[in-house]
Structure 1
Amino acid sequence: MTPTVAILSVLIYFVVLFGISYVTGRKADNAGFFVGNRKSPWYMVAFAMIGSGISGVTFVSVPGMVATSGFSYLQMVLGFVVGQLIIAYVLIPLFYRMNLMSIYGYLEERFGFSSYKTGAWFFFISKMLGAAVRLFLVCLTMQLIIFEAYGVPFLVNVGLTMFLVWLYTFKGGVKSLIWTDSFKTLCLIVSVVLCIVYISDDLGDRVGGVVGVIGESEYSRMFFFDDINDRRFFFKQFLAGIFTVIATTGLDQDMMQRNLSCKNYRDSQKNVLTGGVMQFFIIALFLMLGTLLYTYADSHGIAHPTKSDELFPMLATGSFFPPIVGILFIVGLVSSAFSAAGSALTALTTSFTLDILKADTKRSEEKSARVRRRVHIAMAVVMGLVIYFFERVSSTSVIDAVYVLASYTYGPILGLFFFGILSKRSVHDRYVPIVALAAPVLCYILQSHSEQWFDGYKFSYELLIFNALFTAVGLALLGKGKKIPS
């Protein structure tokens, strides 16, 4: 694939994207930016959420992970489905009943101001780092495919990327994102399906026959029950999936901003449940694609790349398949990456404006809108600087450390909400930040010594559960000994 073809593909995509953003967001006010005026059709939100939950990292990494993990990721996705039930029937009614624009407003009403700020800041750090890492991977891929051929510096690449993300979200916020994400989800699904079709044809069989090939492949094993120390062990993955989706969707301002944009909580419940089921099948498509990519590489004697997430880009943009496969890869990558980045930028703007600056409650509509626009620009600049920082010090260990940090920051949020919902006890609010900081530290100590302390047991994603548990225990110790009114 030539850089010119890649550029044209991206430009055509963005012309359509900006057209949708302009039409849907030209009359948006603050309520439209923050929660879409609570008028979004639930089926559109459900479809859009697929694109929001799949980042550029997912797009290139999930197909590559089948080499070492098979289809074990689907064990965790099954947990996602159960977690969506809890979100739908516990969190959604609660947030709608309280009429929240920012879900962290619950923490202020339940515990106090310090708890509220703690939740907001943990979300802010986690989302900023997570979104920046995802966009870093995309900027790096685009640098190799497009910008390097024209001698464009990485800093200019980052600046242009963040400008495009800011441009299509600055006016309409959530109101625009619901529709642009629906378009991006469509592009994402079509690109993956057509890639599967083209690779199937190249392997000399139609899709129906290739499904049988996938079922017989060593890469397609899904369930792992034999070794509890294996990070792929079913119950570790399944339980972690339940709590991960509650934390990263149900207690994430980015994701819940869409759910709160539905007309009422029943429509929002339909959206959550439908999206959860659809996500399972979309992830399965990515894993099927990965199996086909490895099968193709093995059958043609192509050496596997050192890093598994390089396989899809290498085969798609190389001379192995027709040019249309490379174009579909670019469109799918851009769709998934900008969907995640756009939603993260909107959520960061919302949380910082409402939770940290309290602009919505202290100022008029016009002044609040002015503050929100300035915060939106600031968030885009900060995210761009973080991406550039990753490029300066980039190494696998740094990126991995940021992902670990991002996953750790959801633990205290999960613990705060669960303690608040399941218990009626009040706490000494001013000490809550100390508990929230101590919980991840204890988790780090636990993870570092688990093999020594627990006969070789190695923690995986289930560490999030312990992070939340440590937070809840700490809150219990801070209890005032009296219950809040029912």
Structure 2
Amino acid sequence: MNEVAEQFSLIDWGVVFGYMILTTLIGHALRGQQATIKDFFLGGKSLPWMAVSGSIIATEISALTFIGVPGGVYALSGDWTYLQWGIGSIIARFIVGYYLVPIYYEKEIFSPYDFMGGRLGEGVKKLVTILFSLGSILGQSVRVLVTAIILRAVTGFDMTSCILVIGLFAVVWTLMGGMRTVIWTDVMQFGVFIIGGFIAFVWLWSVCGWANVIELNSTVQVGDETINKMRVFDFTTDPAVSFTFWVAIIAMPFQNLAAFGTDQLNAQRIFCCATKEDAKKAIVWSSFSQVITLLMLSVGAGLFAWYQLHPPSEAEAKLFAEDSNYVFPTWIVTVLPTGLKGLIVAGAFAAAVSSLDSILAALSQTSLSAFYGQKYLEEHGNDSSMVKKSRILVVIWAIFLSGMSIFLSHNYLAEGSDKNLIGLAFRMVSYTYGPILAILVIALNARRIPWSFAGIVVGTVLSVAASAYVQEDVYNLFKALGFEGLSELRHKRPEISFAWFYPITTFLTLFTSIGVALLFPATRKKVS
């Protein structure tokens, strides 16, 4: 690691610090007024849809795609099948844009949870806020971890120090100007990401030769099998495999409906638009993110070819064998010229900070709304004390998120741990997305179907428990805490991909709520 870090010069560090200072100054200049919580959380509902769309893409892509996707392709059995998931993603964005956005814009709300609470009551609103908070801490901690990997590669610092630096910058950016600063700094990171990815793509494919890259990736020997690392479609029906066509068209629309229709991280951006027409355009045009995914898959193929033609040093080869996520950061630091490597690292770092400050703003808003209630916020939204409380919540949530990232990093660095960061990030939110999406469906149909708050709670608990039983995270926690016996129970669980739990837990929560309402009529709720 130190061998790589030594090649990151003082000039590169100057570029990193200069870029961060410039981004901070621009964010400060564009912050606007922050007198009310509407200003702080929604940017005064006056932001252009193109900026909002770019912000959605920047948050979605983040350093996770920038580092995790090329690393996944470089891995011996890696390929382009991750691109299939874009099918479900695009389908969901159109549904959110053309169906959910008009509904959300009927009333002055700050989040989808305000809508659910208005239809189903404050108890449901508090429940979905808890679910969102849990999913956000789990999911965003992976994105922080990814950038900590980049910083660790270029600095040689320990993972904990890198995470704390990211958290500090995120707090400063969020407190500085609320969502207006968050969105405009996201747009800057979006631009740097595209430039950095494009430079890497052109450099790798032109130096290695287009024909060489394609040939070297098309005939890779893995054991007795020859694989094509650039294949896109996988029609495997094995439920344990995540990146398949069937997952893409069946499971991933559920994941993306939850991500863009119920997750405040993305929904908060939609609410920053002046009109529902602008919000619709922002979410639909954010489908452009799939082009960036394709770009980073191409970078991964280029990296595989590069290191076939230019074998890594002994230290680098050992590092890549342990964790392929270090491949792209190492290539950036050891191959690109001084200054340019600093700019790309700065962009990746800033992108992680922008993802983190986005979730801090979302967590602060939903916590405030859940505690005080929508009516109170409407009546006291112009009170400056509410903005002060929002800022305090930002700091509190930053501490929680940084702590979770540090815990996750210890598990990630453990020998034999799962190094697939893309899968890890999506798996983290699979615990909560299904129940939240089911609650949204109930809210949308509250006058047509029987439902029960008790049933929603029971369905949510069953869904989270089912996810925890099948997935490996709880067993890793048992192992970390020294409960080896409980950890060994992982070998008795059924093998099914986390991706299928998006639809499974959606239907489990939905049907449990309906079932309890029918079996115990006294618990049924009606909407007037």
Deviation at 1:213, TM superposition (A): 6.0
Give the aligned residue type for 1:309. Answer: N
Per the alignment, residue 41 of structure 1 pairs with 48
Q: Deviations over 1:69-126 (max 9, x none)?
A: 4111111111100011111122111111132112101221222222111100010111
User: Is 1:129 equivalent to 2:144 in the alignment?
Assistant: no
Counterpart Cα distance in 1 of 2:347 and 2:388: 34
Instruction: Select 2:502's aligned residue among 464, 468, 481.
Output: 464
Contact kept? 2:363, 2:397, Cα under 8 Å: yes
Range moving further from structure 2, 213-222 or 11-20: 213-222
Give the aligned residue type for 2:505. Answer: N
Range moving further from structure 2, 223-232 or 10-19: 223-232
Counterpart Cα distance in 2 of 1:231 and 1:161: 30
Give the aligned residue type for 1:137. Answer: V
User: Is 1:262 equivalent to 2:244 in the alignment?
Assistant: no
Q: Deviations over 1:38-65 (max 9, x none)?
A: 1111111112211111122221111122
Instruction: Select 1:297's aligned residue among 295, 298, 307.
Output: 307
**TM-aligned CA distance change 1:211 to 1:450, over 3 Å:** same
Deviation at 1:447, TM superposition (A): 6.5
Contact kept? 2:217, 2:301, Cα under 8 Å: no
Give the aligned residue type for 1:339. Answer: S
Per the alignment, residue 204 of structure 2 pairs with 199
Counterpart Cα distance in 2 of 1:430 and 1:362: 30
1:29-428 to 2 correspondence within 5 Å?
A: 29=35, 30-66=37-73, 67=75, 68-146=77-155, 148=157, 155-204=160-209, 218-229=228-239, 230-276=241-287, 278-302=288-312, 303=317, 305-318=321-334, 320-323=335-338, 326-358=341-373, 360-361=377-378, 363=380, 365-392=383-410, 394=412, 395=414, 396=417, 404-422=427-445, 424-428=448-452
**TM-aligned CA distance change 1:378 to 1:352, over 3 Å:** same
Deviation at 1:7, TM superposition (A): 2.3
Range moving further from structure 2, 424-433 or 239-248: 424-433
Give the aligned residue type for 2:442. Answer: F
| TM-score in terms of structure 2 length | 0.82
The percentage of aligned residue pairs carrying the same residue is 21
**TM-aligned CA distance change 1:226 to 1:10, over 3 Å:** same
Counterpart Cα distance in 1 of 2:354 and 2:121: 34
Counterpart Cα distance in 1 of 2:306 and 2:403: 39
Q: Deviations over 1:284-305 (max 9, x none)?
A: 0010110111011112234453
* Gap regions ≥5 residues in structure 2: 1-6, 220-227, 473-488
**TM-aligned CA distance change 1:450 to 1:92, over 3 Å:** farther
Per the alignment, residue 25 of structure 1 pairs with 31
Contact kept? 1:316, 1:326, Cα under 8 Å: yes
Counterpart Cα distance in 1 of 2:455 and 2:418: 33
Deviation at 1:341, TM superposition (A): 1.0
Deviation at 1:20, TM superposition (A): 1.7
Provide the aligned length of Structure 1 versus Structure 2: 475
Per the alignment, residue 513 of structure 2 pairs with 475
Contact kept? 2:79, 2:232, Cα under 8 Å: yes
**TM-aligned CA distance change 1:343 to 1:210, over 3 Å:** farther
Q: Deviations over 1:293-326 (max 9, x none)?
A: 10111122344533222221222222x4434553
Per the alignment, residue 461 of structure 2 pairs with 437
Give the aligned residue type for 2:431. Answer: Y
CA RMSD of aligned residues (A): 3.0
**TM-aligned CA distance change 1:171 to 1:356, over 3 Å:** same
Range moving further from structure 2, 368-377 or 414-423: 414-423
Counterpart Cα distance in 1 of 2:252 and 2:455: 30
Deviation at 1:345, TM superposition (A): 1.1
Counterpart Cα distance in 2 of 1:55 and 1:401: 15
Give the aligned residue type for 2:458. Answer: I
User: Is 1:15 equivalent to 2:15 in the alignment?
Assistant: no
Counterpart Cα distance in 2 of 1:56 and 1:275: 17
Counterpart Cα distance in 1 of 2:217 and 2:165: 43
Counterpart Cα distance in 2 of 1:362 and 1:143: 47
Counterpart of 1:65 in 2: which secondary structure?
Answer: helix
Give the aligned residue type for 1:244. Answer: Q
| TM-score in terms of structure 1 length | 0.88
Per the alignment, residue 224 of structure 2 pairs with none
Counterpart Cα distance in 1 of 2:151 and 2:424: 23
Give the aligned residue type for 1:438. Answer: L
Q: Deviations over 1:309-364 (max 9, x none)?
A: 2221222222x443455334413321331221111111111111122344735746
